[in-house]
Structure 1
Amino acid sequence: MNKLIIDSQHLTVKDVLKVSKNKAKVEIGENAYQKIDKARKIIEDIVEKGYPIYGINTGFGKFCNVQISKKELKMLQENLIMSHSCGVGDALPEDIVRGIMILRMNNLSKGYSGISRETFEQIQNLLNHEITPFIPEQGSLGASGDLAPLAHMSLALMGLGEVFYKGQKISAKKALEEEGLKPIHLKEKEGLALINGTQVMTSIGVHAIADAIKLAKFSDLSAAMTTEALNGITDAFYEEIHEIRNQTGQIKTAENMRNILKDSKNTTKQAEIRVQDAYTIRCIPQIHGASKDAINYVSDILNKEINAVTDNPLIFPENGKVISGGNFHGQPVALAMDFLGIAVSEIANVSERRIERLVNPQLSGMPAFLSNNGGLNSGYMIPQYVAASLVSENKVLAHPASVDSIPSSANQEDHVSMGTIAARKAKQIVENVKKVIAIEFLAAAQAIDIKDQKDNLSSTNRFIYDKIREKVTFMEKDRIIHNDIIEMEKLLNDDKFFEEIENKIDLKI
């Protein structure tokens, strides 16, 4: 059934993607309602008694010591959303924004934020009616959470700002009217409950890690196809070599390579053609494996953050306490996203070097740039340039964002994470790596045809080779290779293709 129930339970990356990408309907469970109601009652009691509590009846940031009169408390929350809606840049993609919304719902469902049922349900309404708030991608420091982008999300709940609806960018008010929905009016503490959190960096991270996990597996497959094209030596994947190194990702990658190549007639043993392969073939388990270990670490951090409570102040219904803390600080995600960017960059680095080995006649023993009529035709000369360009761009993007901090709010918020910048960079690196892997697959398939090796391919590689050739034919003479790369990238994005591979072979990560 294509739905997700939010009931204060543990969500996974797959759950988030079910809503963000596949547009599953969202339902709210009774357990979530009970927790929300308990926390809301505490907020209402505080308002009635007038105790000064941050964000409920005080100003924000440096204004935390300014107490707000009871009659102005609702205006305080609406002012917060409007004043903080100052993001800039292009719109975040629809799937990222839907991910933000379901993550925020999960956060609020835990019952530590003091949101009302009506406001909570309005996020559900937007998701189920496919009204996607316009959120500019730039402007978050990653502490106190993702304030500016989450404020733009919150505008739409109030019928303010702009949204994407039925393929158009229109006013939120008009979209709500079209679906028979009414704007909400924020109550005490609700504005802060909506924007204090790490859901923007986490949503970007969730989408990046899902692609990174797939790419880690595809990188083993593209490397295996290149290994066949270059008659690579399989002794380097011998199980005991990797067992005595004791690195998990390395052990799993070597196992993947053995399984992919087990029935290949193109690979060789040491000293049959050469004694050793270059590192980009021989050290595939060591290089890919290290990236996989990093990817698994990042995945663990994100799975924790998906289910984290990141609001401030936090309400503890069991004892009635309302305590200011710092769960909104994005440092755990910031460091993880920087690590992901570095780790995935390395997958492209080694892939590009394998592409070079395929197109360089001094290294491959094949016609230069995999063209049978070189000179008149340039063949795969420039795709290698493109891969090199992407790899170089990744090196710039992989510079850590989390090592930077700029004090804000008159030095009240004097250390920030830059986690959303780190997440955005990691996502771009992942997209770049996907293109490099696509080029390696194309070059490897071209090399296999030049050497007439397709009938000697392993069963796994033959399946992938045939799928490639359904989309991209052998390049007899020069053509617009951009189109080939686009087709190969579409194949890598095809969930059905990935599932078919997974059904054929159990690739470890």
Structure 2
Amino acid sequence: MSSRMVDAPAFVRSGSVVLDGVGLEVEDVVRLADGAARPVPDAEAMKRVTESWDAARQIAATGRVYGRSTGVGANRNEDVPTEDAAGHGLRLLRSHAGAIGEELPARQVRAMLAIRANQLLAAGAGLRPGVINALCEALEAGVHPVVNEFGSVGTGDIAALAQVGLALAGERPWRGAGTAGAPGAGSSTGTAVARAPEPQPLDNNDALALISSNALTLGQAALALHELRGLIGATQVVAALSLLAVDGSHEPYAAPVHAARPHRGSAEVARRMRELIGAAERPSPPLGRIQDPYGFRCLPQVHGPAQDAAAALEQVLAVEINAAAENPLISPEDMAAYHHGGFYLTQLALALDHFRLAVTQVARLSTSRLSTLNEPAYTRLRPFLADHEPASSGVMILEYAAGAALGDVRAFSAPASLGHAVLSRGVEEQASFASLAARQTLRSCGAYRLVVGCELVAAVRALRLRGLRPNPDLPVGRALALAESVLDEDPADRPLTDDVTAAAALLDRFTEIWTRSTS
């Protein structure tokens, strides 16, 4: 599902991430998912986890606690006999480890493990501390359990996490784990062998406490947010190249325009555009046409809401990935188990839906600029940026290809939160479908890249044919030099598949240029 060129973890570690159940951020999740940092459980948080575990066992031994001394779902009123308690947890994991579909990529599973370890350190689950150590050991060793794609409707990733639980108990496989004396997946030489964590003795006090979480959905959402937010920034750099190619006006990015209508995201996009192209805060009027097409003139008004939507999504994720949202919530201070619905992800589902709709607007604007680049009235070149041969088609096909990829982006933007489900004999009669929203957001990344890749190929060709070279000290000048070092300069009619693929891969480098274009 990931659109990244390399999905496997990098394991080039440049530090550590402290997990304390309070301060984990989206960027930390990405680093842990990529193997770029090692997880370190906070000592004080681990003490709280131990207190919570002790309290949970005492509470369950003296009263009725959902999932510990009772069944789950519609079986919530069925008591578990004391003599059967030890086997109840494993039966719960086995029965719920029924996720179906494709096996998830390592990166997504690692993001889930990182978030679940951190949530457990918020100390509301009442889970044995050894499980947290095992999750962190797996992340450090570069191993992950086999997890399948479908099993959640946005009220808990119980199927995926039950698969994790059975792997922790030694009943399901780990990917990347080698055997003694043989090369493991973590080593190309066979000298280092990645080992799975030691099996954990999970019982009735651990099973539901482990799986009562949306960690997979949150991990996928964090990875998608990170990638798409970077791509939106890269798109602004591509748009700046297109603006130069059509002699576009700087007036839409003027500071007074956005001071008069002070939406934060739009004002920030306008400021970034001025930085990219070296425009003044109060630019002079254009010498030629009075107004540009919407693809240029309305860029701040389209990119700005996408940046705002990304910020809103990040705020929701910051709460969820540090939340003790397990049901029931174990409170050692009260010696109580509070049964609740804090696992229900309405906020995340709505934030993801909002974000995808905003991303779709940005992608559509890219196709608008691509159409403008094909028009001689704007570039003073031949139609479709064609060469000198009669009736040459140039980059004509890019409009069709970009439109096809945009169709996927648009389809994935359908609001997942409109879904509905009645489950477990009517006891669970609603669903947020945040899990679907996260998958759709991840899936849109690849198609979005291709849309903007088409614009980049056309913009670079137009600048080359016109012989335009922006100041190399400006961000847009560095972007053009980078693109020219990668993209074929031959303007003859030829297949452009490889050009677009290369341009799409280049967008991550453009994200870095965009990130640095700040005062």
TM-score of the superposed pair, with normalisation by structure 2:
0.90
**Match of 2:333, as an amino acid?**
E
Shift of 1:178: 6.6
User: Pick from 91, 96, 109: which aligns with 1:97?
Assistant: 109
SS at structure 1 position matched to 2:89:
helix
In structure 1, distance between residues paired with 2:486 and 2:102:
32
Tell me the residue number matched to 2:211.
195
Instruction: Indicate whether 1:440 and 2:455 are aligned.
Output: yes
Shift of 1:435: 1.9
Tell me the residue number matched to 1:179.
195
Tell me the residue number matched to 1:208.
224
In structure 1, distance between residues paired with 2:488 and 2:166:
49
User: Pick from 320, 323, 327: which aligns with 1:308?
Assistant: 323
* 1:345–1:429 contact (8 Å) kept in structure 2: no
* 2:141–2:196 contact (8 Å) kept in structure 1: no
Change (3 A) 1:226 1:319: same
Instruction: Indicate whether 1:157 and 2:173 are aligned.
Output: no
Output aligned runs, 1:35-114, within 5 Å: 35-49=48-62, 51-114=63-126
* 2:96–2:158 contact (8 Å) kept in structure 1: yes
Shift of 1:374: 5.2
Shift of 1:365: 3.5
* 2:168–2:197 contact (8 Å) kept in structure 1: no
Deviation sequence 1:365-414 (CA, Å, 0-9, x none): 32122121456753212222111111122222111010111111111110
**Match of 2:122, as an amino acid?**
K
In structure 2, distance between residues paired with 1:446 and 1:499:
22
Instruction: Indicate whether 1:235 and 2:247 are aligned.
Output: no
**Match of 1:312, as an amino acid?**
N
In structure 1, distance between residues paired with 2:284 and 2:299:
16
Shift of 1:328: 1.1
Change (3 A) 1:328 1:375: farther
Tell me the residue number matched to 1:338.
353
User: Pick from 139, 158, 164: which aligns with 1:147?
Assistant: 158
SS at structure 2 position matched to 1:27:
strand
Change (3 A) 1:37 1:482: same
SS at structure 1 position matched to 2:17:
strand
In structure 2, distance between residues paired with 1:121 and 1:221:
43
Tell me the residue number matched to 2:40.
27
In structure 2, distance between residues paired with 1:180 and 1:440:
45
Deviation sequence 1:258-287 (CA, Å, 0-9, x none): 2212269xxx95452111111111111111
Greater shift, 157-166 or 284-293, is seen at 157-166
In structure 2, distance between residues paired with 1:215 and 1:157:
36
In structure 1, distance between residues paired with 2:479 and 2:462:
14
Greater shift, 251-260 or 17-26, is seen at 17-26
Shift of 1:457: 7.3
Tell me the residue number matched to 2:190.
none
SS at structure 1 position matched to 2:464:
helix
* 2:246–2:378 contact (8 Å) kept in structure 1: no
In structure 1, distance between residues paired with 2:121 and 2:250:
52
In structure 1, distance between residues paired with 2:202 and 2:286:
74
Instruction: Indicate whether 1:118 and 2:133 are aligned.
Output: no
Shift of 1:488: 1.9
In structure 2, distance between residues paired with 1:475 and 1:308:
54
SS at structure 2 position matched to 1:187:
coil
SS at structure 1 position matched to 2:418:
coil
Shift of 1:294: 1.4
Which structure 1 residue ranges, 5 or more long, are not aligned? 169-173
**Match of 1:487, as an amino acid?**
A
In structure 1, distance between residues paired with 2:513 and 2:448:
22
* 1:263–1:458 contact (8 Å) kept in structure 2: no
Deviation sequence 1:130-165 (CA, Å, 0-9, x none): 11112111221111x111122222222122233321
Change (3 A) 1:166 1:438: farther
Instruction: Indicate whether 1:329 and 2:329 are aligned.
Output: no
Change (3 A) 1:178 1:272: closer
In structure 1, distance between residues paired with 2:279 and 2:177:
50
Greater shift, 90-99 or 225-234, is seen at 90-99
Which structure 2 residue ranges, 5 or more long, are not aligned? 1-13, 180-184, 187-192
Change (3 A) 1:127 1:178: closer
In structure 2, distance between residues paired with 1:131 and 1:416:
32
**Match of 2:129, as an amino acid?**
R
Change (3 A) 1:375 1:104: farther
* 1:261–1:458 contact (8 Å) kept in structure 2: no
Shift of 1:344: 0.8
* 1:88–1:138 contact (8 Å) kept in structure 2: yes
Tell me the residue number matched to 1:462.
477
Deviation sequence 1:1-20 (CA, Å, 0-9, x none): 52222233311111111211
Tell me the residue number matched to 2:4.
none
Greater shift, 433-442 or 368-377, is seen at 368-377
Output aligned runs, 1:237-276, within 5 Å: 237-262=253-278, 270=285, 272-276=287-291
Instruction: Indicate whether 1:486 and 2:501 are aligned.
Output: yes
In structure 1, distance between residues paired with 2:50 and 2:255:
56
SS at structure 1 position matched to 2:102:
strand
* 1:341–1:430 contact (8 Å) kept in structure 2: no
Shift of 1:363: 5.3
Change (3 A) 1:464 1:133: same
Shift of 1:91: 2.0
Change (3 A) 1:449 1:92: same
Tell me the residue number matched to 1:358.
373
SS at structure 2 position matched to 1:65:
coil
* 1:39–1:316 contact (8 Å) kept in structure 2: yes
Identity of aligned residues (%): 26
Change (3 A) 1:128 1:43: same
Change (3 A) 1:321 1:254: same
Instruction: Indicate whether 1:283 and 2:294 are aligned.
Output: no
Tell me the residue number matched to 1:422.
437
Greater shift, 225-234 or 434-443, is seen at 434-443
In structure 2, distance between residues paired with 1:146 and 1:18:
22
Paired residues in the alignment total: 493
SS at structure 2 position matched to 1:402:
helix
**Match of 1:183, as an amino acid?**
P
In structure 2, distance between residues paired with 1:374 and 1:252:
44
Greater shift, 406-415 or 88-97, is seen at 88-97
Deviation sequence 1:83-119 (CA, Å, 0-9, x none): 1111122222211111100100111111111111222
Change (3 A) 1:99 1:222: same
Tell me the residue number matched to 1:171.
none
Kindly indicate which of the two structures has a greater share of residues assigned to helix.
Answer: 1
